[in-house]
Structure 1
Amino acid sequence: MRILALHGYTQNSHIFSKRLGAIRKACGKECEFVFLDGPHVLTLADVNFGNMDVQETQPEPTDPELIPRAWWRSDDAGTKYRGLEESLLYLRDHLVKEKYNGVFGFSQGATMAALLAAVLERPALAAQYNLLTDGQMPHPPFEFCVVAAGFIPRDPSLAGIFTEASVDGPAGLHTRSLHIIGATDILVTPERSQPLIDASTKARVEQHLGGHFVPATGPWRTFFKAYLNAKSDDEAAAVPSPSSTNSGTSTPVTSAL
């Protein structure tokens, strides 16, 4: 089972790999996670959201494992995503060469994962975003999409991927999707995640008791192992829920959306 993993805003492939370390170990050799870096490097101004005292006293990181990255930047109103098309092309070029069973994203990366999964379902959408290569889809539709703290984009030109039908398919995300929400998440609240859940026709929702992070305590590791290794939609649906137990401690909460 090969899984494409997309990090959140201000993270990178190394950080997200560490955050999912316990889950990856629990999933075993049957699951290969491949972590990609978002193509947009962030500055301290992007990360600290206008905290000039921090910006003036801290140098920009130079260690590749610490450099914060993103799949897009939002304008001041949060309704225009700059650089997302570049990220889609970057992912297209990767998917032409590498094949995956599913995709797993967190926060901004979760929305990116859902966008990618939805576009791969519909060739007309792929053509609209210049993702075809020699007239062909770059990758088959994913078998599943894990959306941890995901949301519908606030950019209207992208929200339509989930809310508007195209000539080759109805609106929404039709890939089997697992939506993970934090009951006390103040960055991507359960209410903000709900429209994406509603737009997903094969959605399963699991809630943990914490905030803005991927839960990784024992019951959740057991759940992820069974879900990600499932061979069919029915087998995945039959995996017992972990959500009645505490979910553990948080990852850093800096995330942009």
Structure 2
Amino acid sequence: MTEARKLKILCIHGYRQNGKAFTEKTGSFRKIVKKYADLIYISAPHKVPPGNLGSAAWTTQPPGSSQTVGPDGAGVTEGKDSDERGWWFSREDDYFKSTDYSDISKGFDASLQMIINILENENSGGFDGIIGFSQGACLVSILCLIQQMEKKKWFKFAVLFSGFKSPSSNHNKYYTQKATIPSLHVFGDSDQIITADRCEELMSFFENPKSLRHPGGHFVPGSAPQKKVYIEFFEEMVQYCQNVQHS
């Protein structure tokens, strides 16, 4: 019996991260799914100005991480790489906060087009799935809905960590239907940056979404309680993608 090929998955980091930082932050998760998937990490095109905290990049990491205090008293893990990036800003002074209900989404169109170009490029494309964290998960949800709307075939499933519906009025046009691709939504009960109710709200824009709640905060969990769910989902996606490819 031929061994199934690995899934190719595009990974979209959160605000104030970059591809390298997100690779490091998802180390435990990567070890769990490496048998099933190759993860490709990219960085947002917009640099976050120094000292601009906005929405925290990461909180409540496992013991041993260096932490500082971010907005609203949230712990933010310090990274060695200071090249902090964002997919868009909710204020004109290049600042993003996930609770900014405004008509500003500065830089969003450029980021969206950058990712679409990667997805559609015959050399870099051919993705089976897409993963997003926080602001990246919000962007992934929009990509899922655009794909549904425009009948594209960019990817076949999505995994969203700490995802939320964009509060920008510019993005309301995307949230008019449900994405039908398989999706897994992972979120923490102790997440003070993106609360569980916002993640549940985002799930309502997907048909038959699967969810994984964990007791932690704003990070990608990768411990034993989550391992079983990840393995089940990725085994299912390997089979699903094979079936779609041969149909």
Interval of TM-score (by shorter of Structure 1 and Structure 2): 0.7 to 0.9
Structure 2, gaps ≥5 residues long:
1-6, 56-69, 71-78, 93-99, 241-247
AA at the equivalent of 2:166: P
Cα deviation for residue 160 of structure 1 reads 2.8
Distance across 2 between alignment mates of 1:225 and 1:14 = 24
Cα deviation for residue 205 of structure 1 reads 1.5
Partner secondary structure for residue 211 of structure 2? strand
1:71-86 → structure 2 map (5 Å cutoff)? 71-75=87-91, 77-79=100-102, 80-86=104-110
Which among 197, 205, 214 is matched to residue 203 of structure 2?
197
AA at the equivalent of 2:83: I
Cα deviation for residue 218 of structure 1 reads 2.2
Which among 101, 107, 113 is matched to residue 128 of structure 2?
101
Distance across 1 between alignment mates of 2:155 and 2:119 = 11
Cα deviation for residue 29 of structure 1 reads 4.1
Equivalent pair of 1:31/1:229 in contact (CA under 8 Å): no
Cα deviation for residue 155 of structure 1 reads 1.0
Match of 2:75 in 1: none
Match of 1:68 in 2: 84
Equivalent pair of 1:23/1:225 in contact (CA under 8 Å): no
Is 2:22 aligned against 1:16?
A: yes
Distance across 1 between alignment mates of 2:80 and 2:26 = 19
AA at the equivalent of 2:209: A
Partner secondary structure for residue 158 of structure 2? strand
Distance across 1 between alignment mates of 2:138 and 2:239 = 23
Equivalent pair of 1:12/1:67 in contact (CA under 8 Å): yes
Which among 35, 45, 65 is matched to residue 39 of structure 1?
45
Partner secondary structure for residue 47 of structure 1? coil
Structure 1, gaps ≥5 residues long:
55-62, 125-136, 165-170, 234-257
Partner secondary structure for residue 82 of structure 1? coil
Cα deviation for residue 91 of structure 1 reads 0.6
Percent identical pairs in the alignment equals: 25
Q: How high is the TM-score relative to the length of structure 1?
A: 0.71
Q: How high is the TM-score relative to the length of structure 2?
A: 0.74
Alignment root-mean-square deviation, CA = 2.4
Cα deviation for residue 232 of structure 1 reads 4.5
Match of 2:141 in 1: 114
Match of 2:243 in 1: none
Cα deviation for residue 78 of structure 1 reads 4.0
Partner secondary structure for residue 51 of structure 2? helix
The change in CA–CA distance for 1:89 and 1:17 in structure 2 (over 3 A counts) is same
Equivalent pair of 2:212/2:229 in contact (CA under 8 Å): no
Distance across 1 between alignment mates of 2:54 and 2:90 = 14
Once the two structures are overlaid, the 10-residue window that deviates more, 101-110 or 174-183, is: 174-183
AA at the equivalent of 1:203: P
AA at the equivalent of 1:142: F
Once the two structures are overlaid, the 10-residue window that deviates more, 98-107 or 217-226, is: 217-226
Is 2:239 aligned against 1:223?
A: no
Distance across 1 between alignment mates of 2:212 and 2:131 = 15
Match of 1:159 in 2: 172
| CA displacement 1:15-37 (0-9 Å, x = unmatched) | 11011112212222431000010
Equivalent pair of 2:101/2:169 in contact (CA under 8 Å): no
Match of 2:218 in 1: 212
| CA displacement 1:168-207 (0-9 Å, x = unmatched) | xxx1222211111110111100122222111211211111
